[in-house]
Chain A
Amino acid sequence: MQIVINGLDVPVKEGQTVLDVAHQVGIWIPTLCHHQGLEPYAACRLCLVEVDSGGRQTLAASCALPVADGMVVETDTPRVRQAREMIMQLHLASTQDSPRVQELARLLGIEQHGLARHGEWRCTLCGLCVRACHQVGADAIGFTYRGSRRRVTAPFRAQATDCLGCQACAEVCPSGIVVFSEAGGRLLGPHWHSDVRMINCAGCGKYFLPQPLAGRLQQLGLELINTDRCPECRRKLAGDRLATEAGRADGHHAES
Chain B
Amino acid sequence: MDEAEVQDLVARHQEQNGRVTAILEELQQRCRYLPEQALRLVAGELGLPLAQLYGVATFYATFSLEPKGEHLISVCHGTACHIKGARRLTERLERELQIKPGHTTHDGQYTLQSVHCLGCCSLAPVVSVDSHAYGRLKPEAIPEVLTTVQGGEGQ
Interface set of A (CB-CB < 8 Å, partner B): 133, 139-146, 154-156, 160-162
Contact = CB atoms under 8 A, between A and B. Distances in A.
Contacts of B39: 155
Nearest to A155: B54
B134 to A, nearest CB: 29
A144 B59 CA distance: 7
Contacts of A146: 58-59
Contacts of B59: 144-146
Given A145-B59, A146-B59, A156 B54 contact: yes
Contacts of A156: 36, 54
A145 B51 contact: no
A141 to B, nearest CB: 6
Contacts of A139: 49-52
A160 B54 CA distance: 12
Contacts, number: 35
Where chain A touches its partner, the secondary structure class is loop
B55 A143 contact: yes
B55 A162 contact: no
Query: Which of A142, A145, A146 is most buried by chain B, counting CB atoms within 10 A of its CB?
Result: A142
Nearest to A149: B58
A50 B54 CA distance: 37
B50 A162 contact: yes
Contacts of A141: 51
Contacts of A145: 58-59
29 contacts: A133-B51, A139-B49, A139-B50, A139-B51, A139-B52, A140-B49, A140-B51, A141-B51, A142-B51, A142-B52, A142-B54, A142-B55, A143-B55, A144-B54, A144-B58, A144-B59, A145-B58, A145-B59, A146-B58, A146-B59, A155-B50, A155-B51, A155-B53, A156-B36, A160-B51, A161-B50, A162-B49, A162-B50, A162-B51
B11 to A, nearest CB: 23
